Structure 1
Amino acid sequence: MMPVMPMFPLGLVLMPNMPMDLRIFEERYLKLLGDLVLEDKPEFGVVAIERGRESGGGEKRFGLGTIASVTEIGTTEEFYGLQSIGAQRFRVNNWLPDEPYPLADIDFIEDLVWDESLNPLLELLDVKVRKLLAFASEFTDLQYGSDTILSDDPMAAAWQLAGILPVGVLDQMDLLGSETADELLSRTNEIVETADETLRAMIAQQDGNDFGESQV
């Protein structure tokens, strides 16, 4: 039997090993938050929205996503929220009715396996991505800076380099769909190599908005 997972469609792509904070306002996701509090290992699926908006429902969703493993659930007088980190990737087999919140049958995707021969490329990409972030910060506010600290685990660091790139959802989805560690690094390198074009597209698409936390 395929696992059924509560889902959180967002206007962003969650990469494995990347942190994600959410402020939650919409009623259906407040219900999800309440259910997560009762779980020993709270987690949910995150899929990017292909077309539509985060709030209100009716959005078209991508069929590839990442499990968010919840690390903290907190409330203040102003908002409810959670902190999480990206875990295993998955593919959506079938969307179930959004009652009381989005649910889907999913298949988990095996984790990528690191090859030590990729270490030199990872080190090179670390430098390239940080230069790109420094450059991009001159044009727009970014969620991640050129001084972002990465994991000591090379596979986790590769995902994090992909995750901190200041690019749009389609490029992020392309990276998320990588089938090998080599492919992930190669795709990341291609994006960095076309930095000028990517930056121009990013600035036009974002229209001055930053890459801050999502609000739903």
Structure 2
Amino acid sequence: MSRDTPPGRGRATLDGVTARLPVFPLGTVLFPGLVLPLHIFEERYRALVRHLVGLPAGAPREFGVVAIRKGWEVAPTGPDGRPTPGGGDVTLHDIGCTAELRQVTELDDGGFDIVTVGKRRFRIADVDARSAPYLTAEVEWLPEPGGPDETAELLAARVIAVFRQYLGLVRADPEEISEQLPEDPTVLSHLVAATAALTVADRQRLLAIDDTAARLRAELRLLNREAALLRQVRAVPVPLAELASPPTPN
């Protein structure tokens, strides 16, 4: 796609077809269906929000959220103290998820507090740091499950059971564990990936998996790993000498 195409206007919306998106590098991984609130303070991303808000009624107000592989998302400043165009020197992961703008609150200083929801996964084909104040990218939409999957449904039941055990180890309030978990295998797989205490690398690998059943299998392994580590940490006794030591001021 040529660089004079307006950022945020997709060329197509079918799986496997390319589109152009504004891109927001973050130190986190967004999954479809998950809520992501953001505080927008940099001028380049203020411009992005203004662009999205100014789109015609009915146009998709989406931008791509991509986890940072290396670097920092805050842009360096120029001699005048303002962020330089194109953003900081960052290396991005290849797979991201679009964030749909749901709520915008303009602040007195010109920034924004926004609420977004993850929509659809994509793979970055090319990044453009010159045609807009913020990064834009040519992306390819990734496939999503289109119907019932018996294997995924069976795995979902196992993931729910293991996830509840995991929550029992990480949450102090047992009542929180009784929360309703989604029965839809794909929705469940995204929720578990986003809420379990996993590394960005673990979450990124889960986001990159196209097949729900395969994602659930990977989550079973990760949840069992994390639960085993938590049990091991809790089983380590506190030395008696440490219990006898007076508390320190820090």
User: What range is the shorter-chain TM-score in?
Assistant: 0.7 to 0.9
Q: Which residue of 2 aligns with 1:70?
A: 101
d(CA) in 1 for partners of 2:72 and 2:171? 26
User: RCO greater where, 1 or 2, for CA within 8 Å and sep 6 or more?
Assistant: 1
TM-score by length of 1: 0.80
Question: What aligned pairs does 1:1-216 form with structure 2 within 5 A after superposition?
Answer: 2-39=18-55, 40-56=59-75, 57-77=88-108, 80-98=112-130, 99-113=132-146, 114-137=148-171, 146=177, 149-196=180-227
Are residues 4 and 122 of structure 1, via their aligned partners in 2, closer, same or farther at CA, if it must alter by over 3 Å? same
Q: Which residue of 2 aligns with 1:206?
A: none
Q: What RMSD in Å do the two structures reach over aligned CA positions?
A: 2.3
Q: Secondary structure in 2 aligned to 1:112?
A: coil
TM-score by length of 2: 0.70
The residue type paired with residue 131 of structure 1 is Q
d(CA) in 2 for partners of 1:33 and 1:166? 30
More strand by share: 1
d(CA) in 2 for partners of 1:21 and 1:94? 26
Per-residue CA deviations over 1:74-121 (Å, capped at 9, x if unaligned) read 234475121111111101001112531010011110113440333232
Residue 199 (structure 1) shift: 6.1
> Is residue 101–residue 116 contact of structure 2 (8 Å, CA) maintained in 1?
yes
Deviates more, 1:60-69 or 1:71-80: 71-80
Q: Secondary structure in 2 aligned to 1:3?
A: strand
Are residues 75 and 149 of structure 1, via their aligned partners in 2, closer, same or farther at CA, if it must alter by over 3 Å? farther
> Is residue 15–residue 176 contact of structure 1 (8 Å, CA) maintained in 2?
yes
For structure 2, the 5+ residue unaligned runs are 2-17, 76-87, 232-250
Residue 3 (structure 1) shift: 1.4
Are residues 123 and 197 of structure 1, via their aligned partners in 2, closer, same or farther at CA, if it must alter by over 3 Å? closer
d(CA) in 2 for partners of 1:180 and 1:196? 24
Are residues 198 and 170 of structure 1, via their aligned partners in 2, closer, same or farther at CA, if it must alter by over 3 Å? farther
Count the aligned residue pairs: 194
> Is residue 160–residue 181 contact of structure 2 (8 Å, CA) maintained in 1?
no
The percent of aligned pairs where both chains have the same amino acid is: 28
Are residues 147 and 93 of structure 1, via their aligned partners in 2, closer, same or farther at CA, if it must alter by over 3 Å? farther
Bigger radius of gyration among the two: 2
Q: Which residue of 2 aligns with 1:203?
A: none
Q: Secondary structure in 1 aligned to 2:93?
A: strand
